[in-house]
């Protein structure tokens, strides 16, 4: 019978979840001199952070400005410095591109929506170029002759989120973060309204670990709900299953092209990723023929040449959605547990601002952006 080993590790802050959100917070804290440990039950980029399309796109869907739009644009504005820091520390490139996103419309309803976006955003002084179908086709070869209207959104960027997930971890390690992979957090030990420690099991060694710290951050994506439930908290989260396809195209795609839920994103060279689907089917992660068919229909409608592209692979991921679709950010109960989860479709975009605000909270007790809307306690009365 294998012997179970047990040991205790101590840090200033223990973060549960080493996806983009947990790793970005870890880096920010470590750069401020905090001793940080990150526990993750899988491998780098294993979940939503590795499955995403990598769009840094606050503007594309904004019909009316609201505080969430401000949070998203604040994060987009932090991106260049964030990428420079990660690339310098890790020595790796994440292919961050600021060439804009092309929103395209074929039917009347889509044209009306783009008109609405154009009117509202130009009124706010946001940079946006209105193109006829012909102008759009001159910019991006292979677009459908059916496209009637397009908007070139300068402020929507993209990067390779798989590279970012790995580079962030390397940067974190350089800054002193201790990552514990294949280590599953199971329960919290709470005393006097404070988390004293997190119990975990390290799969490879079969050993039980105790992580004690002054503060804890719950950044376990879709699985935050189950961990919060062990504390009697209801986070009202649900996984939103999304599928993606990778192709090799004949020509390089110059920018993201998008129509509603369907998009094609460049991934360097002639590699593109196409998405997506959105289904609420629990923690199921299958890639289905139906899902791939609906992505193909959606993207070949806007770029018919994609039907001729070489298929490379397909995958799926679980977006951490919440009841109101807003992230869950800030201190909750117990007192020293900070929540950084529920980023739904925007976790890649929101990583820099989340890291900034959560580290401000932990270092100073307050944040430079109001977080009431995102409070973990907002689901209490439900
Ligand atoms: C198909 C798809 C396309 C997307 N496209 C975009 C996009 O273009 N732009 C954008 O901004 N966002 C996009 N998203 C959303 C984005 O991927 C997520 O919001 C973001 O990755 C969430 O990051 P996270 O670190 O919170 O979660 P995750 O990346 O899921 O990380 C959570 C981590 O917690 C770990 N964990 C879970 N339970 C435990 C436990 N008990 N103990 C220890 N560790 C645990 C997991 O192993 C995992 O590594 C997309 C998502 C999908 C699925």
Name the closest-CA residue to atom 31, ligand 1: 19
Residue where one domain finishes, among candidates 303, 321, 339: 321
Report how far residue 115's alpha carbon sits from residue 22's, in angstroms, rounded to the nearest whole number: 38
Residue 334 dihedral angles phi and psi, to the nearest 5°: -60, 165
Q: What is the pLDDT of residue 2?
A: 45
Residue 1 has pLDDT above 50, yes or no: no
Considering the domain architecture, whether residues 242 and 267 belong to the same structural domain is answered as yes
Task: Choose the residue to mutate in 19, 60, 291 for probing ligand 1, maximizing ligand atoms within 8 Å of C-beta.
Answer: 19
Containing structural domain, residue 212: 6-52+163-235+324-379
> What length does the chain have?
382
Q: What is the residue with the minimal CA distance to atom 16 of ligand 1?
A: 347
Average pLDDT of the residues in 44-66: 93
Question: In the structure encoding, which two tokens stand for residue 373, read together?
Answer: 């809307």
227 and 332 within one domain: yes
User: For the domain that residue 135 is a member of, what is the CATH number?
Assistant: 3.30.9.10
- Mean pLDDT, all residues of the chain: 95
With respect to residue 351, please indicate whether it lies within any of the assigned structural domains: yes
- 181 has pLDDT over 60: yes
* Per-residue confidence band for 5, with pLDDT thresholds at 50, 70 and 90: low
In degrees and rounded to multiples of 5, residue 149 shows phi and psi of -145, 150
Per the structure block, which two tokens stand in for 258? Answer: 């998008």
Per-residue pLDDT reduced to its tens digit, 226-252: 999 999 999 999 999 999 999 999 999
- Let me know if residue 67 belongs to a domain: no
* Shortest-distance Cα residue to atom 52 of ligand 1: 52
CA angle 107, 258, 22 (to 5 degrees): 145
d(CA 276, CA 52): 10
Residue 211 inside a domain? The answer is: yes
202 and 136 in a single domain? The answer is no
pLDDT tens-digit series, residues 314-334: 999 999 999 999 999 999 999
Give the domain CATH number at 209: 3.50.50.60
Domain-embedded: residue 284? yes
Token output for 122: 């130009």
- Same structural domain, 199 and 244: no
Q: Of 207, 242, 184, nearest to 53 (Cα)?
A: 242
Of the residues 301, 321, 341, the one at which a domain ends = 321
Q: What is the end-to-end Cα distance of the chain in Å, rounded?
A: 46
Peptide bond before residue 12 is cis, with ω within 30 degrees of 0: no
Are 301 and 285 members of one domain?
Answer: yes
Is 245 domain-assigned?
Answer: yes
Rounded Cα gap, residues 333 and 353, in angstroms? 23
Residue with CA closest to ligand 1 atom 51: 52
Token digits of residue 171: 């940067």
Residues 171 and 308 grouped into a single domain: no
Q: What's the number of domains the chain is made of?
A: 2
More confident residue, 379 or 80: 80
In the chain, pLDDT over 90 holds for what percent of residues? 94
Say if 202 falls within a structural domain: yes
266-318 pLDDT per residue, tens = 999 999 999 999 999 999 999 999 999 999 999 999 999 999 999 999 999 99
Q: Last residue of a domain, which of 274, 298, 321?
A: 321
Say yes or no: 304 and 243 in one domain: yes
Same domain, 220 and 264: no
* Ligand 1 atom nearest to CA at 50: 29
Q: Which of 145, 189, 168 is nearest to 27 (CA)?
A: 168
Q: Is residue 79 part of a domain?
A: no
Residue range 189-225, pLDDT digits in tens: 999 999 999 999 997 667 899 999 999 999 999 999 9
Pure H helices in the chain: 20-31, 48-51, 67-90, 108-123, 133-139, 161-175, 224-229, 289-302, 347-364
**What are the tens digits of pLDDT across the range 150-169?**
999 999 999 999 999 999 99
- What percentage of residues in the chain have a pLDDT greater than 70? 97
- Indicate whether 37 pLDDT > 80: yes
86 within domain boundaries: no
pLDDT band at 42 (very low <50, low <70, confident <90, very high): very high
Cα separation values, 305 from 255, 259, 299, Å? 16, 16, 10
| Statement to judge: residues 118 and 244 lie in one domain | yes
Residues with CB under 6 A from ligand 1: 16-22, 39-42, 46-49, 51-55, 184-185, 219-221, 223, 227, 242, 244, 275-276, 317, 319-320, 341, 343-349
Residue 296 pLDDT: 98
Please state, in angstroms and rounded to a whole number, the distance separating the CA atoms of residues 226 and 371. Answer: 23
Residues 6+ positions from 204 with CB-CB distance below 8 Å:
182
Domain identity same for 246 and 115: yes
Query: Could you read off the pLDDT of 100-156 as tens digits, one per residue?
Result: 999 999 999 999 999 999 999 999 999 899 999 999 999 999 999 999 999 999 999
The pLDDT of residue 6 is 67
* Rounded CA separation 46/44 (Å): 6
Q: Whole-model pTM? A: 0.97
Report whether 339 contacts 237 (CB < 8 A).
no
Our mutation pick for probing the ligand 1 site, out of 278, 319, 326, counting the most ligand atoms within 8 A of Cβ, is: 319
Concatenate the DSSP letters of all residues of 205-252 into one string: TTEEEEEE-SEEEE--GGGHHHHHHTTT----EEEEEEEEEEEE-SS-
**Looking at the structure, do residues 184 and 143 belong to the same domain, yes or no?**
no
User: DSSP letters along 135-158, please?
Assistant: HHHHHSTT--TT--EEEEETT-EE
Q: Are residues 272 and 343 in the same domain?
A: no
Q: What's the CA-to-centroid distance between 195 and ligand 1, angstroms?
A: 24
């Amino acid at each position: 019978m294998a012997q179970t080993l047990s040991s205790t590790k101590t840090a200033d802050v223990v973060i549960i979840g080493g996806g983009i959100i947990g790793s970005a917070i870890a880096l920010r804290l470590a750069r401020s001199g905090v001793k940080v440990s990150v526990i993750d039950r899988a491998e780098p980029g294993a979940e939503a952070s590795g499955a995403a399309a990598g769009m840094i796109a606050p503007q594309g869907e904004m019909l009316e400005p609201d505080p969430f739009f401000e949070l998203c644009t604040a994060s987009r504005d932090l991106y260049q410095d964030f990428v420079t820091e990660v690339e310098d520390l890790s020595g790796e490139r994440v292919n961050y591109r600021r060439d804009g996103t092309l929103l395209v419309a074929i039917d009347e309803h889509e044209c009306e929506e783009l008109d609405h976006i154009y009117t509202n955003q130009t009124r706010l002084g946001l940079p946006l170029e209105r193109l006829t179908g012909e102008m759009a086709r001159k910019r991006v070869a292979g677009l459908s002759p059916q496209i009637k209207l397009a908007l070139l959104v300068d402020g929507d960027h993209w990067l390779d989120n798989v590279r970012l997930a790995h580079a962030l971890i390397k940067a974190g390690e350089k800054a002193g973060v201790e990552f514990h992979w294949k280590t599953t957090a199971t329960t919290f030990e709470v005393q006097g309204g404070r988390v004293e420690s997190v119990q975990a099991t390290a799969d490879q060694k079969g050993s039980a670990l105790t992580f004690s710290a002054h503060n804890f951050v719950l950044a376990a994506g879709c699985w935050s709900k189950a961990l919060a439930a062990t504390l009697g908290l209801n986070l009202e989260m649900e996984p939103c299953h999304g599928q993606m396809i990778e192709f090799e195209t004949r020509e390089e795609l110059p920018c993201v092209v998008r129509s509603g839920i369907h998009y094609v994103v460049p991934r360097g060279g002639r590699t593109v990723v196409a998405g997506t689907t959105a289904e609420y089917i629990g923690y199921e992660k299958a890639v289905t023929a139906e899902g791939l068919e609906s992505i193909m229909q959606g993207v070949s409608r806007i770029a018919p040449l994609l039907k001729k592209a070489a298929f490379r692979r397909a995958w799926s991921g679980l977006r951490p959605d919440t009841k109101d679709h807003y992230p869950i950010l800030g201190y909750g109960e117990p007192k020293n547990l900070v929540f950084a989860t529920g980023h739904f479709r925007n976790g890649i975009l929101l990583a820099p601002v989340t890291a900034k605000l959560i580290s401000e909270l932990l270092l100073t007790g307050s944040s430079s952006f109001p977080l009431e809307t995102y409070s973990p306690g907002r689901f209490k009365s439900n």
